[in-house]
Chains A and B, each alone.
Chain A
Amino acid sequence: MRSLDDLAYKAKDKKAAIGPDINLDSYSLEPATHADVKNLNTIPKRDRERMTLAGLDASEKERAGTYIQRDATAVHSGSNVDGLEIIPIKKALKEMEWIKDYYWKLASVDTDKYTARVRLDLQDGYVIRVLPGKKVTLPAQACFYLEKEGFNQNVHNIIIAEEESELHVISGCASASHVTRGLHAGVSEFYVKKNAKLSFTMIHHWAEDVVVRPRSVGIVEKGGLFLSNYISMKPVKSVQSYPTIYLVGKGAVARSYSLLVGSPGSELDVGGRIYLQAKDTRAEIVSRAITNGGNIISRGDIIGEVPGVKGHLECHGLILNGGIMHAIPELSGKVDGVELSHEAAVGKIAQEEILYLMSRGLTEEEATATIVRGFLSVDIPGLPASLKAEIDRAVELSQKDVM
């Protein structure tokens, strides 16, 4: 562990490979104090409402368990279901011997200064693990809440779906309504073991001057399925995220879906990279992005390293009221017998489509809104109904900002 700290220390000023550079020293690491929360309904209403926008269900009716972190403090952590463990990572590092097999095993501490920061100034984060053979169909929920103005939140998450298990996670990030500025750096490591199924849906609901640097890496073993969804439709200053997934076992599948809305002043650089490293592995990366004045870079990269693999990449971008949309789809096949394809399209809503709807009685504004809603409603196979509903709600809420 010592040597990892040394590596991190050496990387503490290392700029990220892509995305605007952030001056870490301009954010505070001084935590605010937050008491434990036993009952989610005791969270003040205005905070609870903000958390709800990022997918939190305070009633837990449709949830298998909950983790909540306010600024640097894990205030609530618990599972309601047999075979599902939800533990703050600091507690896990102290008490669980097995965690060392997962902690910093996929992500590298010296990737850039944000991973280094998470290594050196770890506040907390969650470990969510479903035991072998357990199929938990209700989603586990997590929420990172930023309450202190100008705060730098550093978190580390580990998600483990053991062999033959099923796990759904909705992980939301939100800031309190009074917060304008902050930095969220997060490292996530995903382990999908043999024949396991994991869906992970991340919803961001930040503020206009918040900067976000997630660093995620996942591994999928034989017969495993990893479904990764990312939704960011509210104003945010800058997000740069390029999660990487390795498909290492025969027949492993990864699908990644992103829904992005870039508001004026927002800079979103979001993508996904999937390595197909075993026979019969499949990858799909789908992105739908709308800019109404923001700057969006939508990346995707599929790398086929063995014969008999398939991958498809789809980036669709819509420019509504100015802004920049930059789609960068990449494919690389390193041997014979890989089947990779992509389609990318960037444009504005065709006038013909608007007029078609107007001729059915909608005003121009209604027609545009209807088309935008359709553009963002992507069918995501394998997602539980309650998560689909959360995504639909996020799309619905985005309408105000888009139009």
Chain B
Amino acid sequence: MLLIEDLQVKLGNKKILKHVDLEIQPGETQILFGPNGSGKTSLLMTIMGYPQYKVTGGRILFNGEDITYMRVDERARLGIGMSYQRPPSIQGLKTRRMVQVCANGHADVDTLAESMNFTEFLERDINVGFSGGEIKRSELLQLMAQDADLTLFDEPESGVDLENISLIGNTINTLLQRVNGTQHDETTKRIAKERSKMGLIITHTGFILDYVTADKGLVLYDGMVAGRGNPVEIFKQIKKVGYKECARCAA
């Protein structure tokens, strides 16, 4: 379980998260909405442990352990993973090596790459000259190899062409042990019951909602949680009245 209590964060001299409370139960996936600059990415980076995001108050617990001041690699080893929106390009570092690092000996790189339709990229330098969609597929391939308990997705659908959007959606479902929202049978119920993976997904376009059925949604506005509810309903409201109105009505 991820438990965030009254989290306050500064980036440089700027307060970017003011009072954030968030709880993600095992098996639960939540969608994070919010306009540009509302603190969505900052929240993910803070959960991942990026040191430039200084926690000035509150705490983060993961599976009962206080990780508020833990190093990034320690959090990764505890089972937190992140899909970046704009990860850095690293000259000379082959994508294959990167996926091996993530797998840490627990997964077969070639099999995974094949399932992500990404084999031809394995011998290329990570993210160097990748298109937006290729970056997303590379990120998800790494996360498949890492198999984290809590996965943070920063706009996983941005820059992805229509051809690959369902591949991205299905991969996120696999990572989070979810099935496509259109299926409803006994298997679905069983999977839902046994599910333990947690997810927190930032979406801008909402496209991902067509593929991933999330349990909850929340709206971040000006560094605070301005509303919570059914993610599909929230998205409808945002489309209709915009973030500002939505934040006001939810508050």
Contacts and interface: CB of A to CB of B under 8 A. Distances in A.
Contact of B90 (A353, A359, A378): A353
Interface stretch (A47-55, A102-110, A363-371): A363-371
Interface centre among A357, A358, A360, A367 (most CB of B within 10 A): A360
A350 B81 CA distance: 21
B90 A358 contact: no
B227 to A, nearest CB: 29
A355 B97 contact: no
B142 interface: yes
A355 B90 contact: no
A103 B41 CA distance: 66
Interface in B70-118: 71-73, 75-77, 81-82, 84, 87-88, 90-94, 97-98, 101-102, 104
A377 B92 contact: yes
A160 B27 CA distance: 69
B69 interface: no
Given A356-B84, A370-B97, A370-B101, A361 B90 contact: no
A103 to B, nearest CB: 40
B101 A359 contact: no
B46 to A, nearest CB: 13
A358 B92 contact: no
A377 B75 CA distance: 30
Interface size class of B (residues with CB under 8 A): 20 to 34
B48 interface: yes
B140 to A, nearest CB: 13
A358 B77 CA distance: 10
B171 interface: no
Nearest to B73: A358
B93 A374 contact: yes
A359 B148 CA distance: 11
Interface string B28-70: 0000000000000000000011110000000000000000000
A71 B104 CA distance: 47
B6 interface: no
A182 B91 CA distance: 36
B49 to A, nearest CB: 8
Interface centre among B50, B82, B93 (most CB of A within 10 A): B93
A352 interface: yes
A356 B76 contact: no
A231 B201 CA distance: 47
A129 interface: no
A361 B76 contact: yes
B101 A358 contact: no
Nearest to B80: A359
A273 interface: no
Given A370-B97, A370-B101, A374-B125, A359 B72 contact: yes
Interface in A372-391: 373-378
Contacts of A374: 90-94, 97, 125
Nearest to A364: B73
Contacts of A362: 73, 101
Given A350-B88, A355-B50, A356-B84, A361 B73 contact: yes
A371 B87 CA distance: 14
Contact of A375 (B82, B91, B94, B104): B91
Interface string A324-357: 0000000000000000000000000010110111
A231 to B, nearest CB: 15
A352 B87 CA distance: 8
Helix, strand, loop or mixed for chain A's interface? Answer: helix
A278 B125 CA distance: 35
A367 B102 CA distance: 12
Given A370-B93, A374-B90, A374-B93, A358 B84 contact: no
Nearest to B93: A374
A358 B51 CA distance: 12
Contact of A361 (B49, B94, B102, B125): B102
B87 A358 contact: no
Given A356-B84, A357-B101, A359-B81, A378 B76 contact: no
A213 interface: no
A361 B104 contact: yes
Contacts of B48: 359
A250 interface: no
A164 to B, nearest CB: 32
Contacts of B81: 359-360
Contacts of A371: 90, 93
A259 to B, nearest CB: 11
A360 B101 contact: yes
Nearest to B86: A352
Interface in A292-341: 316
B57 to A, nearest CB: 23
Contacts of A360: 76, 81, 98, 101-102, 142, 146
Contact of B87 (A356, A363, A375, A378): A356
Nearest to B82: A359
A12 to B, nearest CB: 44
B91 A361 contact: no
A356 B73 contact: no
Nearest to A376: B92
Contacts of B84: 356
30 contacts: A316-B91, A350-B88, A352-B88, A353-B88, A353-B90, A355-B50, A355-B72, A356-B84, A357-B98, A358-B76, A359-B48, A360-B102, A361-B76, A361-B77, A361-B101, A361-B146, A362-B101, A364-B71, A370-B93, A370-B97, A370-B101, A371-B90, A371-B93, A373-B92, A374-B92, A374-B94, A374-B97, A375-B91, A377-B92, A378-B92
Q: Identify the 6 closest CB pairs spanning chains A and B, nearest first.
A: A374-B92, A374-B93, A358-B73, A358-B72, A361-B76, A352-B88
Given A355-B51, A361-B146, A376-B92, 18 more contacts: A355-B72, A356-B84, A356-B87, A356-B90, A358-B71, A358-B76, A359-B73, A359-B76, A359-B82, A360-B98, A361-B76, A364-B71, A364-B73, A370-B101, A373-B92, A374-B90, A374-B92, A377-B92
